[in-house]
Amino acid sequence: MTTEIFTLKVENIYKTFKTVNALNGISLDFSAGFMHGIIGPEGAGKTTLMRIILGLLKQSAGEVTYYRDNQAIDFKNIREDVAYMPQQESLYADLSVKEHLEFFKDLYEIPVDLYKTKSSELLHISRLTEFIDRPAGQLSGGMYKKLGLICALLRSPRIMLLDEPTNGVDPISRRELWDLLYRMADQHVLIIVTTAYMDEAERCSYVHLLDNGSVVGSGEPRKVLEAAHVNNFDTYFMQRGQS
């Protein structure tokens, strides 16, 4: 069976909040099978852009277009193929890991046999199997984020949008979260991740650098750094702040 390929384009996106210009003419292409990182310091416009892409926030100007197999498609017709992991806590503290998975099984109307296979696989690769009865409110920050991610992965999305998924997570859990995402990218899933951690930029296939609501760089991480004559993205943004 041929897997449908999804891509996404944002063109000349502006967003103004009263007198504040949050986004200033953002134009970016996102292709499937690659890890796209929207990188920038706090207040750069990353979350605003992500919410506009999802239709949770209306842009002041510009267009967001989704494509399925190179054909433009209305977002409402692919909504079930999209998984979103917000920055803020979104799980239920009193529900266990298992109860969360069962809740999303019912929400997504996943067949029982498929659910058994998928949940077992996700619990194994996230290393949450032995914590299946632990309430979400008692999980560590890293385990909490992994639970949120595997709940989103239950229905096998083709587009994944993750807003700072590793924020506040310990280094080991951060690495495990990225390993989960690489697995998805290998399955030609379109993945967009926002992060303010500059070291994570080099984990991405492509980076899209935002600063003060504008794109200041885009491309393969090493090539972006070489073009700026710097060794890392911390230095890249520090030099921008000094200019």
Residue 192, pLDDT above cutoff 70: yes
Rg (C-alpha) for the chain, rounded Å, is 18
Instruction: Write down the CATH superfamily of domain 6-78+158-242.
Output: P-loop containing nucleotide triphosphate hydrolases (3.40.50.300)
pLDDT for the residue numbered 159: 92
pLDDT for the residue numbered 166: 85
pLDDT for the residue numbered 90: 78
Interatomic CA distance for residues 45 and 84, integer angstroms: 17
Categorize the per-residue pLDDT at 71 as very low, low, confident or very high, splitting at 50, 70 and 90: very high
What residues does each domain of the chain span? 6-78+158-242, 91-156
Please state, as a whole number, how many other Cβ atoms lie within 10 Å of the Cβ of residue 241: 8
pLDDT for the residue numbered 105: 92
Q: What is the pLDDT of residues 92-145, one digit of tens each?
A: 999 999 999 999 999 888 999 999 999 998 998 888 999 999 999 999 888 888
pLDDT for the residue numbered 53: 95
Q: What is the pLDDT of residues 149-187, one digit of tens each?
A: 889 888 889 999 999 888 878 888 888 888 888 888 888
pLDDT for the residue numbered 97: 95
Interatomic CA distance for residues 19 and 221, integer angstroms: 33
pLDDT for the residue numbered 1: 41
pTM: 0.88
Largest CA distance in the chain: 58
Interatomic CA distance for residues 128 and 133, integer angstroms: 10
Interatomic CA distance for residues 172 and 116, integer angstroms: 27
Q: What is the pLDDT of residues 1-32, one digit of tens each?
A: 447 889 999 999 999 998 889 999 999 999 88
Q: What is the arithmetic mean of pLDDT over 203-211?
A: 94
